[in-house]
Amino acid sequence: MKSELFVRRTRIEAPAEEVYRWHVRPGALERLTPPWERLEVLERTPGGVRDGARVVLWVPLGPAGVRWVAEHRDCREGSGFADVQLSGPFRRWVHEHRFEPAGPGACDLEDRIEYELPLGVLGRLAAGGAVRRRLERLCAWRHAVARDDIARHRAAAAARPLRIAVSGAGGLVGSALVPFLTTGGHEVVRIVRRRPGADERAVFWKPTAGYLEPAGLEGLDAVVHLAGENVAGQRWTDDFKERIRQSRVWSTRLLCETLAGLARPPAVLVCASAAGIYGDRGDEPLDEGSAPGSGFLAGVCREWEEAAEAAARAGVRVVHLRFGMVLTPRGGALARLLPAFRLGAGGPVGSGRQHVSWIGVEDAVGAIHHAIAEEAVRGPVNAVSPHPATNRGLARALGRVLRRPALLPLPAFAARALLGEMADALLLASQRVRPARLLETVYHFRDPELEGALRRLLGRPGEV
């Protein structure tokens, strides 16, 4: 049976040993899995990449899926390893990861995949082209992420691995942040709402009861606080609005008062906030010096940021990242929009003229990393793209990327009928926000333009 061979090679401006280490650290599989792939890790052998270790994945295939069992083989420290399919969707699959020196301080990263499709000639005729296109998209993403992540870690001010605690590690941003940090060599301590296992690097807390174990936070270099109720989780009732407020204000106050009481507090606390602090401001240009607005979300954000005062008084450098709409197909606003737009039933909401301040999930992670590493970053920081879009512009860009019409509007009255007060705050409000502090401190955006960000996140032809 004839095997197919796929090869992709990219120059990385880092030594082969360093690029190899990035690929074998915890979190590498998560970083290398594109956001448009609905891959699930079912099991993995403890101890990381080594000969004989196995990974069991659930891979979507048509309307169902298939278990894919792969084994690491031929592991060569600093130069390469292979993943061999034991069972799964292919008749044969051998994926070699090669890291070859290319002069001082650089290497060539090569993915070399030899595979056979099932059903012989029929399988090649039916799926050969689609599989090759999928591999092109997959490996383009993987090489771009490896190159960019390694460059960011090398450029960071920290000259040593850091110990970083993260709350909300399983959320929209946290689930992307933790693998980024661990592949960069940092140790992550999760702050969790369940009793951690004996070998787990985690700290237990219960914000509603005012409980947080302080011992696990001693001697940390940084804390990233992302925990909070999903504001779009359900229709806003008075009870749910109070849950939103408490989940942010109470947890932040508890965390910051605990950090202030430590003998060795962290140097920096990066605390999530939101661009919703500016309220509905029409076409007014907004930056970190702009006054807060009015409304429920603006009020919550003000209290949220004020709750961190105890840490600031204790000498901790506090950064309030005011996130705009975080774009990723794995959740949040984009994931909710995709089904309708893929059916050609998407379009602008309300007038479509309201400004949407957005940020791709890779830049949301990058902004957190920048805030940790750059000592000049403190206080409020707008975590948004330098190029906000109108709601109509967002709909048109998504339609172009998906090659679907985006002409069916959702009138304001219909949005309010569906979502109530939430519609005014999340869909109809206009915030034209500029990331002045990120630009002043020389943060380099991965995805500054909306259409490029959508193409990258959705794996559409054009750019990755």
Q: Which of 411, 224, 209, 447 is nearest to 318 (CA)?
A: 224
In a domain, 394, yes or no: yes
Asked whether residue 299 falls in the same domain as residue 319, the answer is yes
Asked whether residue 421 falls in the same domain as residue 313, the answer is yes
pLDDT digits (tens, 9 = 90+) for 185-213: 999 999 999 888 878 889 999 998 999 99
Paired residues of 381 in beta bridges: 321
In a domain, 288, yes or no: yes
In a domain, 226, yes or no: yes
pLDDT digits (tens, 9 = 90+) for 271-320: 999 999 999 999 999 999 999 999 999 999 999 999 999 999 999 999 99
| 464: its two tokens | 């990755």
User: Residue 28's domain spans which residues?
Assistant: 4-155
- E strand or H helix at 337, and its extent? helix 332-342
In the chain, the percentage of residues whose pLDDT exceeds 70 is: 98
In terms of DSSP H, where are the helices of 156-202? Answer: 174-183
Pair 286, 429: CB distance under 8 Å: no
Residue that is last in its domain, among 155, 173, 194: 155
Pair 444, 22: CB distance under 8 Å: no
CATH number at residue 26: 3.30.530.20
Is residue 159 over pLDDT 90?
no
In a domain, 265, yes or no: yes
Pair 425, 295: CB distance under 8 Å: yes
Mean pLDDT across the stretch 436-458? 97
The pLDDT of residue 464 is: 42
47: pLDDT confidence band, cut at 50, 70 and 90?
confident
Is residue 97 over pLDDT 60?
yes
Q: What is the pTM of this model?
A: 0.95
The pLDDT of residue 96 is: 98
| 403: its two tokens | 């090659």
Burial class of residue 461 in the structure, from the number of CB atoms within 10 Å of its CB (0-12 exposed, 13-18 middle, 19+ buried): exposed
Asked whether residue 169 falls in the same domain as residue 104, the answer is no
Structural domains of the chain, count: 2
Asked whether residue 144 falls in the same domain as residue 285, the answer is no
CATH number at residue 314: 3.40.50.720
| 331: its two tokens | 């959740």
Is residue 331 over pLDDT 50?
yes
Asked whether residue 332 falls in the same domain as residue 301, the answer is yes
Asked whether residue 129 falls in the same domain as residue 20, the answer is yes
In the chain, the percentage of residues whose pLDDT exceeds 90 is: 83
pLDDT digits (tens, 9 = 90+) for 348-390: 999 999 999 999 999 999 999 999 999 999 999 999 999 999 9
Asked whether residue 117 falls in the same domain as residue 190, the answer is no
